[in-house]
Amino acid sequence: MPDILWPLFQQNRDLLHDLPELGARVIERWAKYKYGVRLMVMVIPQTFGGRLNFNPHLHILVSGGGLRESEGRWVTPLAFEKDKLMHMWRHAVITHLRNAVRAKELVSDFSDERLKTILTAQYERWWSIDIDQFASKEHFLRYGGRYIRRSPIPEYRIVKISDSEVHFWIKDKRLKRRVTIRCSSEEFVTALAEHVPDRYEHSIRYFGLLAPGSKAQLSVGLFALVGQQKRPRPRQLGWRFLLRRDFGVDPLIDRFGQEMQWVGRLPPVRDGVVDCQPVT
């Protein structure tokens, strides 16, 4: 979406949380109208750009085929129309913001009249969206894994940290080279804090055939339609095993080389005093 709209979602986190559903519904409506099918849709919301600026956007992973329920068959391939989807996405976002302005639910530094002018101007301009295809399941997993619960800035991009400043580099697309950014420690922490997900907000959301209700009812039939066998859920790896495998450290070995055992939990502190209870 245009950068002039970014501060609106920065100041209105409830509207920011609505973006994944808006994006998913746009694609679902297009697929239903164009092909009469339901899709598998996963949405990964992201709020940061390369400069740690607040840049809300969506990474939407969509199945290359869809279920035509009226015929009970899987339809593939689907040709996604970039211009049509852009117009629908633009309409969905601007309408959502206009409704918030009308309901007096939008916090902004602009007046209502100025907001209406901005929204009208952005509704009439071209928006940038990108559509690409995955070459394999590995490509799909690597792409999705890059954006789920990732840090807004990787450690290797941080060049220097002092008591008062932080230096990090970015890729300047206009200059086509690396550029070092300098900011105060307070500015750096403030920028990072803006991208911390709100409590109970998921890093990935599922819609269409992957929505929890639909997945439980249709997953067996979908695998049969595409001629694949549903694999069992992988065994969950324990946190102790992962720490030993990835970092070579056993968290349950104390400084004397003895293995620690779970014996109990202390109750919360009340009025500065811990109510101790015997543990067996």
Q: Which two tokens stand for residue 221?
A: 């039939």
Look at residue 278 and tell me whether its pLDDT is greater than 50. Answer: no
Arithmetic mean of pLDDT, 263-268: 85
Give the predicted TM-score (pTM) of the model.
0.80
C-alpha closest to that of 66 among 39, 32, 33: 39
pLDDT digit string (tens) for 212-257? 888 888 888 888 888 888 888 888 999 999 999 999 999 999 989 9
pLDDT at 279: 45
Note the pLDDT tens digit of each residue in 54-89: 999 999 999 999 999 889 899 988 999 999 999 999
Question: 171: closest CA among 16, 51, 65?
Answer: 51
Beta bridge partner(s), residue 208 = 40
Please choose, from the candidates 140, 185, 144, 189, the residue with its C-alpha nearest in 3D space to the C-alpha of residue 166. 185
pLDDT surpassing 70 at residue 7: yes
Q: Which residues contact 218 (CB under 8 A, 6 or more apart)?
A: 67, 209
pLDDT tens digits, residue range 133-169? 888 888 888 888 888 878 899 889 999 999 899 999 9
